Amino acid sequence: MATQKPRILIADDEKNIRFTMTHALERSGYEIAAAVNGEDALKQLEAAEFDLLLLDLRMPGMDGMEVLREAAERYPGTRVVIVTAHGTVENAVEAVKLGAADFIQKPFSPTEIRDLVAQILDRGHIRTEEAHDYATHLALAKRSINQRRLAAATAYVKQAIAADPGRPEAFNLLGVLQEIEGDRHGALKNYRIALDLNPSYEPARRNLSRSGEPPIPGTLSLG
């Protein structure tokens, strides 16, 4: 029996972005549909099941955050990636609380979007009892964020750190979770640890760059 292709919905008001993502992901064998705005995205989610929604944060009419709220409530089985060139710390935190699986910032390459989609879809196949190494604990943490199980996500991140304390990704993700919970001091500490471990690790650098008062516009970077 043939395995069903993962179904992905792209919601973006920019035609060239829809084309770029569609072309990149169809090459990986995914089944793609496109929505031109938030209202269109919700209609398509109602009409068919999707494994993943690539959702532009800023669209005319119903914006991405409104769509995310509706999708999280009505279609919890559909994972959501926020796609944005805009955004602020505040709505990034809110998006993660609502269950956004990850973020990607424009501009991005076809390889970057393919890699991110593959990682997110792979998380859904991991069984908890298989969590023995750093990468699996980290993947389970991100899946728990998508499921809005933040306490479980924090536990998995700490297990990843225990498995390999010399890598930056888990410290950065722990910082993100602390920022969601309002622990700004703890978040900054872990972003700095991530950068100490790898000074070129961009997700931690971007997160730390928002530490000024007032916050510098940007998005949380899960890494």
185: exposed, middle or buried (C-beta count within 10 Å: 0-12, 13-18, 19+)? exposed
Instruction: Say how far apart CA 80 and CA 52 lie, in whole Å.
Output: 6
Residues in contact with 146: Cβ distance below 8 Å, sequence separation at least 6, in sequence order:
79, 80, 99, 100, 101, 120, 123
Domain edges within the chain:
7-123, 129-211
Average pLDDT over residues 190-194: 92
| pTM exceeds cut of 0.75 | no
Share of the chain above pLDDT 90, in %: 39
Instruction: Say how far apart CA 128 and CA 159 lie, in whole Å.
Output: 12
- Say yes or no: domain 129-211 is CATH 1.10.10.10: no
Token pair 């000024």 in the structure block, residue: 212
Strand, coil or helix: what is 152?
A: helix
How sure is the predictor about 216, in pLDDT bands with cuts at 50, 70 and 90?
very low
pLDDT at 3: 54
Radius of gyration, CA atoms only, the chain:
17
Residues in contact with 84: Cβ distance below 8 Å, sequence separation at least 6, in sequence order:
56, 57, 58, 64, 103, 105, 106, 219
More confident residue, 91 or 63: 63
Q: Is-cis flag, bond preceding 203, omega within 30? A: no
- CB 198: neighbour CB atoms within 10 A? 16
Winning range, highest mean pLDDT, from 29-38, 58-67, 176-185, 207-216: 29-38
Would you identify the CATH topology of the domain 7-123? Rossmann fold (3.40.50)
Residues 134-156 pLDDT 10s: 888 888 888 887 777 888 888 88
Residues 64-107 pLDDT 10s: 999 999 998 899 889 899 887 755 555 666 777 787 877 787 88
Question: CA dist 15 to 2, 26, 28, 108, 197, Å?
Answer: 32, 16, 20, 15, 40
